[in-house]
Structure formats: C-alpha cells, structure tokens
Amino acid sequence: MSMKITLGPVLFNWPPETWRDFYFRIADETDVDSVCVGEVVCAKRAPFFEPYLPDVIARLQAAGKDVVLSTLALISNAREEAAIVELAKSDDFLIEANDIGATDALAGRRHALGPLVNIYNEATLGFLAARGAVRVCLPPELPAAAVAALAAAQAAEIEVLAFGRLPLAISARCFHARAEHLHKDGCQFVCNKDADGRVVRTLGDEAFLAINGTQTLSHSAILLLSELDDLAAKGVARIRLSPHACDMTAVADVFRAVMDHRLGAAEATSRLRAIAPDLPFSNGFYHGCAGRQQVAMGESS
C-alpha cells in the first residue's frame, strides 16, 4: 500500500479569509488524503478563524478528505484545558494532540499525536498507543533509524513531516510581540506580518531560525523527496506537508508524482525550488546530520 499524504494545520496567522480560501482550494483541487485544521500556536488567534471552520470542514468532507482537528501545542490555562475536554466528548473527528497534557483528556478514545509531542522510543509510543493514539506524526529531528524502529513497532500509524519549516519549540512568551516592542497581552497580532514566519539572524547576519508568535521554527524547510521510497520501505504510512504561503496544491502534486514514480526526485526538487523560492531546503536530521544540512541519499553520517 502506498503512503498517504496529510496536510498539516496552518501554523501562521494568515488573514481569516485567506485561511478560509486556502482550505477551500485544498478541498477542491489538492490531492491529499487528510487535512488538519485548527489553531496550534496561539489561542488568541482562534476566534478569527472559528466563524469559517464549519464551512471549511464541510467543504473538505464533501471533497472526500479525512478531517483532523489539531489542538494547541501549549495549553496554558484552565479555559484552554476545558476546551480540550469538551472537544474530546465528540467522536465526529480524529483529534490531534500537540501538547502531552491533552492526551489525558483524549485517553480512551481514538486520537492522533502531532510532531510537538516528544516520542523518541518504542516504549513511549506503546504507552501512548495503549491510551488511544492511532496516528502519530513523529518529531522532525528523528533520524532514519529511529523512524524505522518506531514504524516497526506497529503500535500506531506513523507519519513523517516531509515538507515545511520544522516546528522546534513553543513558549509562553510571544517572540513576535517582543520583536515589535509590544507585550504579549497587547500584541496587536503582529505575527500576521509574516506569512511564513519571521526569519531570525545571528550576529553574523546568517539566517538561523524563524519565529511565529510563540513558536520557534527552523529557517530551512525540511524536504524529504529522495527519501520517500525509503520511508515507505520502513513502514511509514503517511507523510505530512506543512502549509506555507506558496502554492501548496502544486507542492502536493509534486510529492504525489514522486510517490507514484511519475517524476524523479531531482526534477521534483527543482520544481519545488521554483514553487517555494524563499524556503531553503534541508534534510539533515533524517540522515543523522545537522538538521540544516541538505544530504543526498547514501551520504548519511
């Protein structure tokens, strides 16, 4: 069986109408199997998107897409905890936990785990699977050997992030607000200025990371194209594409063509560089190297 494609949640603070129209196009034109919707980074953003959520979900389902509800990566107060508890009462959707604390509310029902939940070994995977996790998107810093071991455990359906800036950390502080000399409570939603996150540079003016509100991301975007056959051979069930402001329909088409062996990895990489010219690519973590490196298959350290 060939791997499936999941479109991860939009991590960035896009204008609500842009967010809605993005998902409408995903429903109508994009060859993906599952689509994650929901606010992951900042609870303050959620009210802007909630009015459009029912129509987005209905459109995706009408197009035959499997809808997953993604939840916050950092549950920081009783109100946010109560929202997870309330959401867990419904069996209408597969819910994705991105904070380990959310797994208590979801225990005993089928749910998914996002890449910010730290699953590094078979024992952790088995424990969380026994509590109801049926789909797990692994942390992006895992090397190929660890991915293989977790897939071989067959405790849950394994998903691997294959495109997009890597979600590295989440904080109670808002980096975007601080960069604009604002407090978090009066942030003025300045994260909406950066559709793919704001690049952070070192003192030597080298692009290093990206910030997205309270989230820290990699500067480079992971790209696992040459590795797709290897992932499938290891038993990985799904790959995840993380949305960016580029043409994600075209990105998904490229991945599908490589998975179906209609397009070679080298040509596919060239096409993606044209589709997303502002995203440098890397795959070092998968090959056991520094994450920011771009490594050819067979050159792992």
Answer yes or no: is pLDDT of 119 > 90. yes
Percentage of residues of the chain with pLDDT beyond 70: 98
Report the C-alpha gap between 122 and 152 in whole angstroms.
Answer: 9
Domain extents in the chain:
4-166+219-287
Q: How far is the C-alpha of 38 from the C-alpha of 112, rounded, in Å? A: 14
> Is 3.40.50.300 the CATH number for 4-166+219-287?
no
Mean pLDDT over 55-64 rounds to 97
For the segment 21-49, the average pLDDT, to the nearest whole number, is 96
Please give the residue that has the higher pLDDT: either 83 or 18: 18
**Confidence band of 95 (pLDDT split at 50, 70, 90):** very high
Task: State pLDDT tens for residues 5-18.
Answer: 999 999 999 999 99
**Residue 300 pLDDT greater than 80, yes or no:** no
Q: Has residue 1 got a pLDDT over 80? A: no
- Residue 88 banded pLDDT, cuts 50, 70, 90: confident
Report the pLDDT value the prediction gives residue 241, as an integer from 0 to 100. Answer: 98
Per-residue pLDDT, 185: 85
